Amino acid sequence: MRSFVRAAELGQLQHTADELGVTQQAISKRIAALERELEVRLFTRTARGVELTLDGQAFLPHARTIVAGVDRAVTAVRPGSRALRIDVLGLRSAQAVVLHDYWRSHPETDLDVVTLRVNDPQVAAAAVQAGDVDASFRTVVDPATLPRDVQMIRAFDSPLELLVGPRHPLASARTLTPSQLRKLRIWVPGIVPRSEWAEFYDQLASAFDLRIDATGPNFGNEVLLDALADSADMATLVGARDRYIWPANHDLRRIPIVNPTLAYPLSLMFPSTNPHPGLRAIIDHLATLAPLPEPAWLPSWATPRGSAHRGGH
């Protein structure tokens, strides 16, 4: 196909052969094979080269499309040239929203946002090490547990907001403090036991004496939002940047939590050696994000962004 396109452009099999680094006879056989396959003559042979037949003219644009498609397909996965591929916990998570913001201000970036669908940060780290993804947004982990050649930086901290329906007693509050949430029924379905999220909610519950119900399967956001809209006492926690779409008649309210701000710490893991060239700009973009309002609460394993790391290796 490539030979055909180039021969059509150059008008000579000989030049095509030189350019593609094979003999003229090879090109001749390629074209002949293509013509045999299609049962159609693509070129008329003249003494000073080749010229497209009508069939060849009809075929050429398709051939160009195919060749270009192959090139795009290869560069889509070829290590080193493929799009910057970043793992996020979910396509509606704060991380995905941050990446989307970045992409909107840099639309030329070839960005591929994927979800590895694994809970264990160590598995995600292994995927980074193996090159399956160029970077992964996860919670903060002990740097000593990271595989060789994978490093981690603090990305940003995602402040939590309370999400309630219109009949909830706190529905009209502008802001809330954690003490106002004491004993409140908070439902966070779909949390995998012993995962980073389970640990986060455990610490949160004991630190502020909350009643967090993190059990039960997650039947999807629609079910959760439906339940919230109808309930007079149920609430849930969402990230301030998380993207949620609900029907207008649900009338749910997001209420910021302050004094202290509750936040989930996020880091970005990526290879120490030869990271994807596009990653630098993402990291720079993360540095521009607004810091958490003070005072802030973070789980024990995370220090506020900007302070020194614990430990090392």
Chain contacts with a copy of itself (rule: CB under 8 A): 38-40, 42, 53-55, 57-59, 62-63, 65-66, 69-70, 72-74, 76-79, 82-83, 85, 112, 114, 116, 132-133
Q: Is 12 in the site for DNA (CB under 7 A)?
A: yes
> Using CB under 7 A, which of 5, 13, 96, 140 touches DNA?
13
Tell me which DSSP letter residue 192 carries.
P
Residues 21-50 that bind DNA (CB under 7 A): 21-26, 28-33, 43, 45-50
Q: How far apart are CA 313 and CA 187, in angstroms?
A: 38
Closer CB to DNA, residue 66 or residue 207? 66
Which distant-in-sequence residues (6+ apart) come within 8 Å of 264 by Cβ? Answer: 139, 157, 158, 160, 200, 239, 299
Closer CB to a copy of itself, residue 59 or residue 200? 59
Q: For the CB of residue 54, give the shortest distance to DNA in the complex, in Å.
A: 17
Tokens found for residue 141: 């982990």
Q: For the CB of residue 38, give the shortest distance to DNA in the complex, in Å.
A: 14
Which distant-in-sequence residues (6+ apart) come within 8 Å of 267 by Cβ? Answer: 137, 138, 139, 140, 141, 152, 153, 154, 155
Q: Is 267 in the site for DNA (CB under 7 A)?
A: no
Q: What, of a copy of itself, DNA, none, does residue 62 touch, CB below 5 to 8 Å by kind?
A: a copy of itself
Q: Where are the alpha helices (DSSP H) in the chain?
A: 2-10, 13-20, 24-38, 54-77, 94-105, 121-130, 196-208, 221-230, 279-287
Number of residues that bind DNA (CB under 7 A): 23
Q: For the CB of residue 76, give the shortest distance to a copy of itself in the complex, in Å.
A: 5
Q: What, of a copy of itself, DNA, none, does residue 79 touch, CB below 5 to 8 Å by kind?
A: a copy of itself
The residues pairing with 220 across neighbouring beta strands, listed in sequence order, are none
Which distant-in-sequence residues (6+ apart) come within 8 Å of 227 by Cβ? Answer: 187, 234
